[in-house]
Protein backbone atom coordinates (compact mmCIF):
# COMPACT_ATOMS: atom_id res chain seq x y z
CA UNK A 1 0.00 0.00 0.00
CA UNK A 2 2.54 2.51 1.21
CA UNK A 3 4.83 1.76 -1.70
CA UNK A 4 2.05 2.43 -4.16
CA UNK A 5 1.07 5.80 -2.79
CA UNK A 6 3.75 8.01 -4.26
CA UNK A 7 3.05 6.50 -7.67
CA UNK A 8 -0.63 7.32 -7.40
CA UNK A 9 0.18 10.83 -6.28
CA UNK A 10 2.32 11.27 -9.34
CA UNK A 11 -0.51 10.44 -11.64
CA UNK A 12 -2.81 12.95 -10.03
CA UNK A 13 -0.42 15.87 -9.52
CA UNK A 14 1.62 15.73 -12.67
CA UNK A 15 -0.45 14.79 -15.68
CA UNK A 16 1.47 14.55 -18.90
CA UNK A 17 1.45 17.64 -21.07
CA UNK A 18 0.05 16.03 -24.18
CA UNK A 19 -3.07 14.86 -22.37
CA UNK A 20 -5.10 17.36 -20.34
CA UNK A 21 -6.22 16.18 -16.86
CA UNK A 22 -9.60 15.18 -18.14
CA UNK A 23 -10.58 13.07 -15.13
CA UNK A 24 -10.37 15.95 -12.71
CA UNK A 25 -12.65 18.33 -14.62
CA UNK A 26 -15.12 15.51 -15.11
CA UNK A 27 -15.24 14.89 -11.40
CA UNK A 28 -15.53 18.60 -10.64
CA UNK A 29 -18.43 18.96 -13.02
CA UNK A 30 -20.15 15.99 -11.40
CA UNK A 31 -19.77 17.48 -7.92
CA UNK A 32 -21.02 20.90 -9.11
CA UNK A 33 -24.03 19.18 -10.65
CA UNK A 34 -24.86 17.47 -7.38
CA UNK A 35 -24.50 20.73 -5.47
CA UNK A 36 -26.85 22.58 -7.86
CA UNK A 37 -29.33 19.72 -7.78
CA UNK A 38 -29.24 19.71 -3.95
CA UNK A 39 -29.91 23.45 -3.79
CA UNK A 40 -32.80 23.23 -6.25
CA UNK A 41 -34.30 20.27 -4.40
CA UNK A 42 -34.14 22.25 -1.13
CA UNK A 43 -36.06 25.17 -2.63
CA UNK A 44 -38.53 22.82 -4.30
CA UNK A 45 -39.18 21.08 -0.97
CA UNK A 46 -39.83 24.35 0.85
CA UNK A 47 -42.46 25.25 -1.72
CA UNK A 48 -43.94 21.78 -2.20
CA UNK A 49 -44.33 21.00 1.53
CA UNK A 50 -46.39 24.19 1.82
CA UNK A 51 -45.24 25.07 5.33
CA UNK A 52 -47.41 27.49 7.28
CA UNK A 53 -44.85 29.85 8.79
CA UNK A 54 -47.40 31.82 10.81
CA UNK A 55 -47.69 28.73 13.04
CA UNK A 56 -44.11 29.32 14.07
CA UNK A 57 -45.11 32.64 15.66
CA UNK A 58 -48.27 31.41 17.42
CA UNK A 59 -46.47 28.20 18.36
CA UNK A 60 -43.67 30.03 20.12
CA UNK A 61 -46.04 31.62 22.60
CA UNK A 62 -47.75 28.27 23.15
CA UNK A 63 -44.38 26.69 23.78
CA UNK A 64 -43.53 29.29 26.39
CA UNK A 65 -46.83 28.87 28.25
CA UNK A 66 -46.31 25.08 28.12
CA UNK A 67 -42.86 25.41 29.61
CA UNK A 68 -44.39 27.76 32.19
CA UNK A 69 -46.83 25.04 33.23
CA UNK A 70 -43.88 22.69 33.66
CA UNK A 71 -42.42 24.96 36.32
CA UNK A 72 -41.59 24.41 39.06
CA UNK A 73 -40.57 20.74 38.72
CA UNK A 74 -42.57 18.48 41.00
CA UNK A 75 -40.15 16.44 43.11
CA UNK A 76 -42.85 14.70 45.16
CA UNK A 77 -42.75 11.49 43.11
CA UNK A 78 -38.95 11.22 43.31
CA UNK A 79 -38.92 7.67 44.63
CA UNK A 80 -40.90 6.36 41.68
CA UNK A 81 -38.96 8.45 39.14
CA UNK A 82 -35.51 7.56 40.46
CA UNK A 83 -36.58 3.91 40.60
CA UNK A 84 -37.66 4.07 36.97
CA UNK A 85 -34.38 5.81 36.07
CA UNK A 86 -32.44 3.00 37.68
CA UNK A 87 -34.54 0.51 35.74
CA UNK A 88 -33.50 2.25 32.52
CA UNK A 89 -29.88 1.98 33.60
CA UNK A 90 -30.39 -1.72 34.34
CA UNK A 91 -31.98 -2.27 30.93
CA UNK A 92 -29.05 -0.54 29.28
CA UNK A 93 -26.41 -2.48 31.23
CA UNK A 94 -28.05 -5.89 30.75
CA UNK A 95 -28.85 -5.23 27.08
CA UNK A 96 -25.35 -3.97 26.30
CA UNK A 97 -23.72 -6.85 28.20
CA UNK A 98 -25.64 -9.45 26.23
CA UNK A 99 -24.71 -7.65 23.01
CA UNK A 100 -21.04 -7.48 24.02
CA UNK A 101 -20.79 -11.18 24.90
CA UNK A 102 -22.51 -12.33 21.70
CA UNK A 103 -20.50 -9.89 19.57
CA UNK A 104 -17.29 -11.10 21.22
CA UNK A 105 -17.83 -14.64 19.98
CA UNK A 106 -19.21 -13.64 16.60
CA UNK A 107 -16.31 -11.25 15.94
CA UNK A 108 -13.84 -14.18 15.91
CA UNK A 109 -15.88 -15.74 13.13
CA UNK A 110 -16.45 -12.43 11.36
CA UNK A 111 -12.87 -11.12 11.24
CA UNK A 112 -11.45 -12.11 7.87
CA UNK A 113 -7.97 -12.88 9.20
CA UNK A 114 -9.35 -15.31 11.78
CA UNK A 115 -12.56 -16.73 10.33
CA UNK A 116 -12.51 -20.44 9.51
CA UNK A 117 -14.01 -19.61 6.13
CA UNK A 118 -14.57 -16.43 4.17
CA UNK A 119 -18.23 -17.30 3.60
CA UNK A 120 -18.83 -17.49 7.35
CA UNK A 121 -17.20 -14.10 7.74
CA UNK A 122 -19.37 -12.53 5.05
CA UNK A 123 -22.52 -14.14 6.42
CA UNK A 124 -21.99 -12.86 9.95
CA UNK A 125 -21.02 -9.41 8.71
CA UNK A 126 -24.11 -9.36 6.50
CA UNK A 127 -26.43 -10.33 9.34
CA UNK A 128 -24.79 -7.73 11.60
CA UNK A 129 -25.28 -5.04 8.94
CA UNK A 130 -28.95 -6.01 8.62
CA UNK A 131 -29.51 -5.94 12.39
CA UNK A 132 -27.70 -2.60 12.57
CA UNK A 133 -29.80 -1.09 9.79
CA UNK A 134 -33.02 -1.58 11.77
CA UNK A 135 -33.31 1.19 14.39
CA UNK A 136 -33.59 0.27 18.08
CA UNK A 137 -37.07 1.77 18.17
CA UNK A 138 -38.29 -0.70 15.52
CA UNK A 139 -36.62 -3.58 17.34
CA UNK A 140 -38.42 -2.71 20.57
CA UNK A 141 -41.79 -2.61 18.81
CA UNK A 142 -41.08 -6.04 17.34
CA UNK A 143 -40.11 -7.43 20.73
CA UNK A 144 -43.10 -5.87 22.50
CA UNK A 145 -45.30 -7.84 20.13
CA UNK A 146 -43.25 -10.95 20.84
CA UNK A 147 -42.76 -10.84 24.62
CA UNK A 148 -45.10 -8.09 25.87
CA UNK A 149 -44.40 -4.74 27.53
CA UNK A 150 -41.84 -4.05 30.24
CA UNK A 151 -38.03 -4.13 30.53
CA UNK A 152 -37.67 -7.43 28.67
CA UNK A 153 -38.36 -6.15 25.12
CA UNK A 154 -36.12 -3.15 25.91
CA UNK A 155 -33.24 -5.43 26.86
CA UNK A 156 -33.69 -7.55 23.75
CA UNK A 157 -33.89 -4.51 21.48
CA UNK A 158 -30.71 -3.01 22.90
CA UNK A 159 -28.90 -6.35 22.79
CA UNK A 160 -29.72 -6.76 19.09
CA UNK A 161 -28.93 -3.19 18.16
CA UNK A 162 -25.61 -3.28 20.07
CA UNK A 163 -24.76 -6.62 18.53
CA UNK A 164 -25.08 -5.18 15.05
CA UNK A 165 -22.63 -2.40 15.76
CA UNK A 166 -20.22 -4.27 18.01
CA UNK A 167 -19.68 -7.20 15.64
CA UNK A 168 -18.54 -4.69 13.05
CA UNK A 169 -16.14 -2.70 15.25
CA UNK A 170 -14.84 -5.78 17.11
CA UNK A 171 -14.10 -7.56 13.83
CA UNK A 172 -12.32 -4.45 12.58
CA UNK A 173 -10.13 -4.41 15.70
CA UNK A 174 -9.13 -8.00 14.99
CA UNK A 175 -8.50 -7.27 11.33
CA UNK A 176 -6.10 -4.51 12.35
CA UNK A 177 -3.82 -7.03 14.08
CA UNK A 178 -0.61 -7.60 12.11
CA UNK A 179 -0.97 -10.85 10.14
CA UNK A 180 2.54 -11.79 11.21
CA UNK A 181 1.51 -11.93 14.85
CA UNK A 182 -1.19 -14.48 14.08
CA UNK A 183 1.18 -16.42 11.80
CA UNK A 184 3.76 -16.54 14.57
CA UNK A 185 1.18 -18.03 16.94
CA UNK A 186 0.05 -20.55 14.34
CA UNK A 187 3.59 -21.57 13.54
CA UNK A 188 4.11 -22.70 17.15
CA UNK A 189 1.41 -25.28 16.48
CA UNK A 190 -1.24 -23.36 18.43
CA UNK A 191 -4.85 -24.27 17.64
CA UNK A 192 -7.52 -21.79 16.49
CA UNK A 193 -8.88 -21.46 20.01
CA UNK A 194 -5.41 -21.01 21.49
CA UNK A 195 -4.56 -18.30 18.96
CA UNK A 196 -7.74 -16.45 19.94
CA UNK A 197 -7.42 -16.71 23.70
CA UNK A 198 -3.65 -16.32 24.01
CA UNK A 199 -2.99 -13.95 21.14
CA UNK A 200 -6.04 -12.12 19.84
CA UNK A 201 -7.94 -11.36 23.04
CA UNK A 202 -4.99 -9.80 24.91
CA UNK A 203 -4.28 -7.66 21.85
CA UNK A 204 -7.80 -6.34 21.30
CA UNK A 205 -8.94 -6.27 24.94
CA UNK A 206 -8.60 -2.53 25.53
CA UNK A 207 -10.24 -1.68 22.21
CA UNK A 208 -13.13 -3.99 23.06
CA UNK A 209 -13.54 -2.39 26.49
CA UNK A 210 -13.58 1.12 25.06
CA UNK A 211 -16.14 0.18 22.41
CA UNK A 212 -18.33 -1.54 25.00
CA UNK A 213 -18.38 1.52 27.23
CA UNK A 214 -19.11 3.76 24.26
CA UNK A 215 -21.96 1.45 23.34
CA UNK A 216 -23.30 1.52 26.92
CA UNK A 217 -23.53 5.31 26.70
CA UNK A 218 -25.56 5.03 23.50
CA UNK A 219 -27.73 2.27 24.93
CA UNK A 220 -28.53 4.25 28.06
CA UNK A 221 -29.76 7.14 25.94
CA UNK A 222 -31.84 4.67 23.91
CA UNK A 223 -33.15 3.01 27.08
CA UNK A 224 -34.71 6.28 28.25
CA UNK A 225 -36.42 6.75 24.89
CA UNK A 226 -37.46 3.12 24.38
CA UNK A 227 -39.50 3.35 27.57
CA UNK A 228 -41.80 5.83 25.86
CA UNK A 229 -43.21 3.12 23.61
CA UNK A 230 -43.66 0.69 26.48
CA UNK A 231 -40.30 -0.90 27.15
CA UNK A 232 -40.13 0.01 30.84
CA UNK A 233 -37.89 2.45 32.64
CA UNK A 234 -38.01 6.21 32.96
CA UNK A 235 -39.33 6.87 29.44
CA UNK A 236 -42.58 5.22 30.36
CA UNK A 237 -42.97 7.53 33.37
CA UNK A 238 -42.38 10.53 31.14
CA UNK A 239 -45.04 9.43 28.64
CA UNK A 240 -47.64 8.80 31.34
CA UNK A 241 -46.94 12.13 33.04
CA UNK A 242 -47.28 13.98 29.72
CA UNK A 243 -50.48 12.14 28.79
CA UNK A 244 -52.07 13.04 32.10
CA UNK A 245 -50.86 16.64 31.85
CA UNK A 246 -48.80 16.33 35.01
CA UNK A 247 -46.34 18.73 33.45
CA UNK A 248 -44.47 19.61 36.67
CA UNK A 249 -43.71 15.93 37.14
CA UNK A 250 -42.67 15.62 33.48
CA UNK A 251 -40.12 18.42 33.87
CA UNK A 252 -38.66 16.68 36.90
CA UNK A 253 -38.37 13.45 34.89
CA UNK A 254 -36.63 15.28 32.05
CA UNK A 255 -34.21 16.76 34.57
CA UNK A 256 -33.46 13.30 35.97
CA UNK A 257 -32.93 11.90 32.45
CA UNK A 258 -30.54 14.72 31.64
CA UNK A 259 -28.54 14.24 34.83
CA UNK A 260 -28.32 10.48 34.38
CA UNK A 261 -27.31 10.62 30.71
CA UNK A 262 -24.73 13.26 31.58
CA UNK A 263 -23.33 11.20 34.47
CA UNK A 264 -23.11 8.05 32.38
CA UNK A 265 -21.22 9.92 29.64
CA UNK A 266 -18.77 11.58 32.02
CA UNK A 267 -18.12 8.29 33.82
CA UNK A 268 -17.74 6.52 30.49
CA UNK A 269 -15.19 9.05 29.29
CA UNK A 270 -13.20 8.68 32.49
CA UNK A 271 -13.22 4.91 32.17
CA UNK A 272 -12.11 5.09 28.54
CA UNK A 273 -9.21 7.33 29.52
CA UNK A 274 -8.20 4.88 32.24
CA UNK A 275 -8.33 1.98 29.78
CA UNK A 276 -6.10 3.83 27.32
CA UNK A 277 -3.47 4.12 30.01
CA UNK A 278 -3.41 0.35 30.64
CA UNK B 1 21.10 -37.90 8.24
CA UNK B 2 18.62 -35.82 6.30
CA UNK B 3 16.10 -33.91 8.37
CA UNK B 4 14.51 -32.16 5.42
CA UNK B 5 14.16 -33.35 1.84
CA UNK B 6 12.61 -30.93 -0.59
CA UNK B 7 11.81 -32.15 -4.06
CA UNK B 8 10.52 -30.31 -7.12
CA UNK B 9 8.90 -27.65 -4.98
CA UNK B 10 6.92 -25.10 -6.97
CA UNK B 11 4.80 -22.26 -5.71
CA UNK B 12 2.64 -20.10 -7.93
CA UNK B 13 0.66 -17.47 -6.03
CA UNK B 14 -2.96 -16.70 -6.84
CA UNK B 15 -1.98 -13.52 -8.69
CA UNK B 16 0.12 -15.63 -11.07
CA UNK B 17 3.59 -14.85 -9.67
CA UNK B 18 5.86 -17.85 -9.74
CA UNK B 19 7.78 -17.65 -6.47
CA UNK B 20 9.49 -21.04 -6.62
CA UNK B 21 10.38 -23.03 -9.75
CA UNK B 22 11.02 -26.70 -9.24
CA UNK B 23 13.34 -26.37 -6.24
CA UNK B 24 15.08 -29.41 -4.75
CA UNK B 25 17.51 -29.57 -1.85
CA UNK B 26 18.17 -31.57 1.31
CA UNK B 27 19.18 -30.36 4.73
CA UNK B 28 21.17 -32.55 7.09
CA UNK B 29 20.66 -32.67 10.81
CA UNK B 30 22.73 -30.01 12.61
CA UNK B 31 23.31 -27.82 9.57
CA UNK B 32 23.21 -24.04 9.89
CA UNK B 33 22.08 -23.25 6.37
CA UNK B 34 21.71 -19.70 5.18
CA UNK B 35 19.67 -18.75 2.16
CA UNK B 36 20.74 -15.56 0.42
CA UNK B 37 19.22 -13.70 -2.49
CA UNK B 38 17.65 -10.37 -3.36
CA UNK B 39 14.15 -9.36 -2.29
CA UNK B 40 11.47 -11.26 -4.10
CA UNK B 41 13.81 -14.10 -5.03
CA UNK B 42 11.64 -16.57 -3.12
CA UNK B 43 13.57 -16.95 0.16
CA UNK B 44 10.54 -16.35 2.37
CA UNK B 45 8.37 -18.65 0.29
CA UNK B 46 10.85 -21.48 0.80
CA UNK B 47 10.80 -21.11 4.60
CA UNK B 48 7.06 -20.57 4.77
CA UNK B 49 6.41 -23.66 2.65
CA UNK B 50 8.36 -25.75 5.13
CA UNK B 51 5.94 -25.02 7.96
CA UNK B 52 3.02 -24.61 5.56
CA UNK B 53 2.26 -20.97 6.22
CA UNK B 54 2.31 -21.14 2.45
CA UNK B 55 0.71 -24.09 0.68
CA UNK B 56 3.05 -25.25 -2.12
CA UNK B 57 1.52 -25.63 -5.57
CA UNK B 58 3.40 -28.86 -6.26
CA UNK B 59 6.35 -30.86 -5.09
CA UNK B 60 7.14 -32.69 -1.92
CA UNK B 61 8.68 -31.84 1.44
CA UNK B 62 9.81 -34.63 3.72
CA UNK B 63 10.44 -33.55 7.29
CA UNK B 64 11.96 -36.31 9.41
CA UNK B 65 10.92 -38.70 6.64
CA UNK B 66 7.28 -37.61 6.78
CA UNK B 67 5.49 -35.98 3.85
CA UNK B 68 4.11 -32.70 5.12
CA UNK B 69 2.62 -31.00 2.06
CA UNK B 70 -0.51 -33.12 2.34
CA UNK B 71 -0.83 -33.47 6.10
CA UNK B 72 -4.15 -32.78 7.82
CA UNK B 73 -4.81 -29.92 10.23
CA UNK B 74 -4.20 -32.10 13.27
CA UNK B 75 -0.97 -33.49 11.85
CA UNK B 76 0.10 -29.99 10.86
CA UNK B 77 -0.06 -28.83 14.50
CA UNK B 78 2.28 -31.67 15.46
CA UNK B 79 4.67 -30.84 12.62
CA UNK B 80 4.67 -27.12 13.35
CA UNK B 81 5.51 -27.58 17.01
CA UNK B 82 8.70 -29.34 15.91
CA UNK B 83 9.73 -26.26 13.92
CA UNK B 84 10.39 -22.96 15.62
CA UNK B 85 10.01 -19.87 13.48
CA UNK B 86 11.62 -16.47 13.93
CA UNK B 87 10.47 -13.44 11.97
CA UNK B 88 11.88 -10.12 10.87
CA UNK B 89 9.15 -8.27 12.78
CA UNK B 90 9.52 -10.42 15.96
CA UNK B 91 5.73 -10.90 16.04
CA UNK B 92 5.27 -11.25 19.78
CA UNK B 93 2.00 -10.56 21.56
CA UNK B 94 2.97 -7.09 22.69
CA UNK B 95 0.45 -6.63 25.48
CA UNK B 96 1.40 -9.87 27.18
CA UNK B 97 4.38 -10.47 29.47
CA UNK B 98 7.70 -11.70 28.15
CA UNK B 99 7.33 -14.93 30.13
CA UNK B 100 3.89 -15.62 28.65
CA UNK B 101 5.26 -15.04 25.18
CA UNK B 102 7.93 -17.67 25.77
CA UNK B 103 5.28 -20.04 27.12
CA UNK B 104 3.32 -19.64 23.88
CA UNK B 105 5.95 -21.95 22.42
CA UNK B 106 4.35 -24.75 24.43
CA UNK B 107 0.82 -24.30 23.01
CA UNK B 108 1.30 -26.89 20.29
CA UNK B 109 1.93 -29.55 22.95
CA UNK B 110 -1.13 -28.75 25.06
CA UNK B 111 -4.74 -29.71 24.50
CA UNK B 112 -6.64 -26.89 22.86
CA UNK B 113 -8.64 -25.89 25.94
CA UNK B 114 -5.80 -25.99 28.46
CA UNK B 115 -3.67 -23.92 26.16
CA UNK B 116 -6.46 -21.44 25.53
CA UNK B 117 -6.92 -20.67 29.21
CA UNK B 118 -3.15 -20.56 29.68
CA UNK B 119 -2.88 -23.43 32.17
CA UNK B 120 0.82 -24.04 31.56
CA UNK B 121 2.46 -26.80 33.58
CA UNK B 122 5.09 -26.24 36.27
CA UNK B 123 7.76 -27.86 34.09
CA UNK B 124 6.87 -25.60 31.17
CA UNK B 125 7.17 -22.53 33.35
CA UNK B 126 10.51 -23.62 34.74
CA UNK B 127 11.71 -24.34 31.22
CA UNK B 128 10.58 -20.89 30.13
CA UNK B 129 12.53 -19.29 32.96
CA UNK B 130 15.70 -21.16 32.06
CA UNK B 131 15.26 -20.14 28.41
CA UNK B 132 14.95 -16.51 29.47
CA UNK B 133 18.14 -16.95 31.43
CA UNK B 134 19.81 -18.32 28.32
CA UNK B 135 18.89 -15.26 26.27
CA UNK B 136 19.72 -12.99 29.22
CA UNK B 137 16.25 -11.60 29.86
CA UNK B 138 15.30 -12.97 33.29
CA UNK B 139 14.97 -9.48 34.74
CA UNK B 140 12.47 -8.52 32.00
CA UNK B 141 10.23 -11.58 32.45
CA UNK B 142 7.20 -9.72 33.81
CA UNK B 143 7.50 -6.73 31.48
CA UNK B 144 5.19 -6.47 28.53
CA UNK B 145 6.85 -7.71 25.37
CA UNK B 146 5.99 -4.44 23.62
CA UNK B 147 8.07 -2.44 26.11
CA UNK B 148 11.30 -4.18 25.10
CA UNK B 149 13.78 -2.98 22.48
CA UNK B 150 13.89 -4.66 19.09
CA UNK B 151 16.90 -6.78 19.93
CA UNK B 152 15.37 -7.89 23.21
CA UNK B 153 12.09 -8.74 21.46
CA UNK B 154 13.96 -10.91 18.99
CA UNK B 155 15.64 -12.72 21.89
CA UNK B 156 12.19 -13.39 23.35
CA UNK B 157 11.14 -14.71 19.95
CA UNK B 158 14.17 -17.02 19.95
CA UNK B 159 13.22 -18.23 23.45
CA UNK B 160 9.66 -18.83 22.24
CA UNK B 161 10.94 -20.90 19.34
CA UNK B 162 13.23 -22.86 21.71
CA UNK B 163 10.33 -23.51 24.09
CA UNK B 164 8.90 -25.68 21.34
CA UNK B 165 11.95 -27.96 21.75
CA UNK B 166 12.20 -27.89 17.97
CA UNK B 167 14.21 -30.13 15.69
CA UNK B 168 14.39 -27.30 13.16
CA UNK B 169 14.42 -23.52 13.41
CA UNK B 170 13.33 -21.36 10.50
CA UNK B 171 14.51 -17.77 10.73
CA UNK B 172 13.07 -15.38 8.15
CA UNK B 173 15.32 -12.29 7.96
CA UNK B 174 15.86 -12.30 11.75
CA UNK B 175 18.17 -9.28 11.76
CA UNK B 176 16.76 -7.17 8.94
CA UNK B 177 15.17 -4.62 11.28
CA UNK B 178 18.02 -4.42 13.78
CA UNK B 179 21.18 -2.31 13.98
CA UNK B 180 24.56 -3.95 13.22
CA UNK B 181 25.63 -4.50 16.86
CA UNK B 182 22.28 -5.97 17.87
CA UNK B 183 22.28 -8.04 14.71
CA UNK B 184 25.54 -9.63 15.74
CA UNK B 185 24.21 -10.45 19.21
CA UNK B 186 21.13 -12.07 17.73
CA UNK B 187 23.12 -14.10 15.20
CA UNK B 188 25.47 -15.22 17.98
CA UNK B 189 22.58 -16.37 20.16
CA UNK B 190 20.94 -18.16 17.29
CA UNK B 191 24.13 -19.86 16.13
CA UNK B 192 25.35 -20.86 19.59
CA UNK B 193 22.03 -22.22 20.79
CA UNK B 194 21.44 -24.24 17.64
CA UNK B 195 25.00 -25.55 17.83
CA UNK B 196 24.75 -26.49 21.52
CA UNK B 197 21.33 -28.09 21.29
CA UNK B 198 21.89 -29.78 17.96
CA UNK B 199 19.04 -27.91 16.32
CA UNK B 200 19.07 -27.64 12.56
CA UNK B 201 18.61 -24.06 11.40
CA UNK B 202 17.67 -22.45 8.12
CA UNK B 203 18.09 -18.68 7.99
CA UNK B 204 17.09 -16.20 5.31
CA UNK B 205 19.54 -13.36 5.14
CA UNK B 206 20.18 -10.24 3.16
CA UNK B 207 23.70 -9.65 4.39
CA UNK B 208 26.20 -11.80 2.54
CA UNK B 209 29.02 -10.97 4.96
CA UNK B 210 27.00 -12.19 7.94
CA UNK B 211 26.00 -15.28 6.00
CA UNK B 212 29.60 -16.13 5.24
CA UNK B 213 30.57 -15.82 8.90
CA UNK B 214 27.97 -18.21 10.36
CA UNK B 215 26.80 -20.55 7.63
CA UNK B 216 27.87 -24.16 7.46
CA UNK B 217 26.20 -24.05 4.07
CA UNK B 218 24.94 -21.30 1.81
CA UNK B 219 22.10 -21.51 -0.68
CA UNK B 220 21.82 -18.76 -3.27
CA UNK B 221 18.36 -18.13 -4.62
CA UNK B 222 17.50 -16.12 -7.69
CA UNK B 223 14.06 -15.77 -9.25
CA UNK B 224 12.70 -18.87 -7.59
CA UNK B 225 15.57 -21.23 -8.37
CA UNK B 226 18.62 -22.29 -6.40
CA UNK B 227 21.69 -21.20 -8.33
CA UNK B 228 24.31 -21.75 -5.64
CA UNK B 229 24.69 -24.49 -3.06
CA UNK B 230 27.95 -24.79 -1.20
CA UNK B 231 30.15 -23.73 1.69
CA UNK B 232 31.02 -20.15 2.60
CA UNK B 233 34.53 -20.51 1.12
CA UNK B 234 33.10 -21.69 -2.19
CA UNK B 235 31.00 -18.57 -2.46
CA UNK B 236 33.16 -16.35 -4.63
CA UNK B 237 32.55 -12.71 -5.44
CA UNK B 238 31.44 -13.57 -8.93
CA UNK B 239 28.93 -16.05 -7.50
CA UNK B 240 27.57 -13.35 -5.21
CA UNK B 241 27.25 -10.99 -8.14
CA UNK B 242 25.50 -13.69 -10.07
CA UNK B 243 23.00 -14.28 -7.23
CA UNK B 244 22.17 -10.63 -6.82
CA UNK B 245 22.03 -9.90 -10.52
CA UNK B 246 18.56 -9.68 -11.96
CA UNK B 247 17.93 -11.99 -14.83
CA UNK B 248 16.74 -10.22 -17.94
CA UNK B 249 13.11 -10.84 -18.56
CA UNK B 250 12.72 -12.21 -22.07
Q: What is the pLDDT of residues B51-91, one digit of tens each?
A: 999 999 999 999 999 999 999 888 999 999 999 999 999 99
Buried b (16+ CB within 10 A) or exposed e, A207-241: bbbbbbbbbbbbbbbbbbbbbbbbbbbbbbbbbeb
ipTM score for this prediction? 0.88
Reported as a pLDDT band with limits 50, 70 and 90, residue A21 is low
The pLDDT of residue A15: 40
| Mean pLDDT, chain B, integer | 90
Let me know if residue A195 belongs to a domain.
yes
- The verdict on a CB contact (< 8 Å) between A181 and B91 is yes
Question: Which DSSP category does A5 fall into?
Answer: H
Domains of chain B with CATH codes: 1-82+172-180+203-250 (3.40.50.300)
Reported as a pLDDT band with limits 50, 70 and 90, residue A20 is low
Dihedral sign (CA B208, B209, B214, B217): positive
A113, A184, A185, A277, best to mutate vs chain B, most B CBs in 10 Å: A184
Reported as a pLDDT band with limits 50, 70 and 90, residue B109 is very high
- In total, the C-beta contacts within 8 angstroms joining chain A to chain B are 88
Range of the domain at A218: 77-277
Give yes or no for residue B209 having a pLDDT over 60.
yes
| pLDDT, average across residues A148-164 | 89
Using a 10 angstrom Cβ sphere, with 0-12 exposed, 13-18 middle and 19 or more buried, the burial of residue B150 is middle
Give yes or no for residue A13 having a pLDDT over 60.
no
Domain count, chain A: 1
Q: Each residue of B143-171: pLDDT tens digit?
A: 999 999 999 999 999 999 999 999 999 99
The pLDDT of residue A243: 83
Let me know if residue A36 belongs to a domain.
no
Let me know if residue A120 belongs to a domain.
yes
Let me know if residue A39 belongs to a domain.
no
Smallest Cβ distance to B118: which of A191, A198, A206?
A198
The pLDDT of residue A186: 93
Let me know if residue A237 belongs to a domain.
yes
C-alpha B220/C-alpha A245 separation (Å) is 88
Let me know if residue A44 belongs to a domain.
no
B221 pairs with which residues across the strands? Answer: B226
The pLDDT of residue A23: 60
Q: What is the CATH number of the domain that holds A258?
A: 1.10.3720.10
The pLDDT of residue B101: 95
Give yes or no for residue A3 having a pLDDT over 80.
no
Of B32, B36, B7, the closest CA to residue B22 belongs to: B7
Give yes or no for residue B129 having a pLDDT over 60.
yes
Buried b (16+ CB within 10 A) or exposed e, A78-106: eeebeebbebbbbbbbbbbbbbbebbbeb
The pLDDT of residue A17: 46
The pLDDT of residue B120: 92
| pLDDT, average across residues B95-124 | 92
Chain B residues within 8 A of A197 when measuring between CB atoms: 115-118
- Contacting A residues, span 204-223, partner chain B, CB-CB under 8 Å: 205-206
Let me know if residue A63 belongs to a domain.
no
Give yes or no for residue A9 having a pLDDT over 60.
no
Lowest mean pLDDT among A101-105, A142-146, A233-237: A233-237
| pLDDT, average across residues A172-195 | 92
A113 contact B CB<8A? no
Let me know if residue A132 belongs to a domain.
yes
Smallest Cβ distance to B116: which of A180, A183, A197?
A197
Amino acid sequence: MKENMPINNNIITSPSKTEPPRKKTKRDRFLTGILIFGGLFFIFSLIQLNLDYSRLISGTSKLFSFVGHMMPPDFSTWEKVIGAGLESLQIAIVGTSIGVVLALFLSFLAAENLSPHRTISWMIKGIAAFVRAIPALIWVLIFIVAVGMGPFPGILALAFNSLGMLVKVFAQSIEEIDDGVLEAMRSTGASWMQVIFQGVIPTVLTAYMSWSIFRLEIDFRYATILGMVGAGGIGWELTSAMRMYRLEEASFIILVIFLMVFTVEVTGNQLKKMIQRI
Amino acid sequence: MEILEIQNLTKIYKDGTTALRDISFNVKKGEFAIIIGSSGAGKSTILRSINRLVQPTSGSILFQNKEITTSSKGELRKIRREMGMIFQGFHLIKRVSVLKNVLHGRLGYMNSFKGAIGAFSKEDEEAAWSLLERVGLTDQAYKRAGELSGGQQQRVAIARALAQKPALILADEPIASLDPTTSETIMNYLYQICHEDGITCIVNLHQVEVAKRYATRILGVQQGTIIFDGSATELSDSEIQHIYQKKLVV
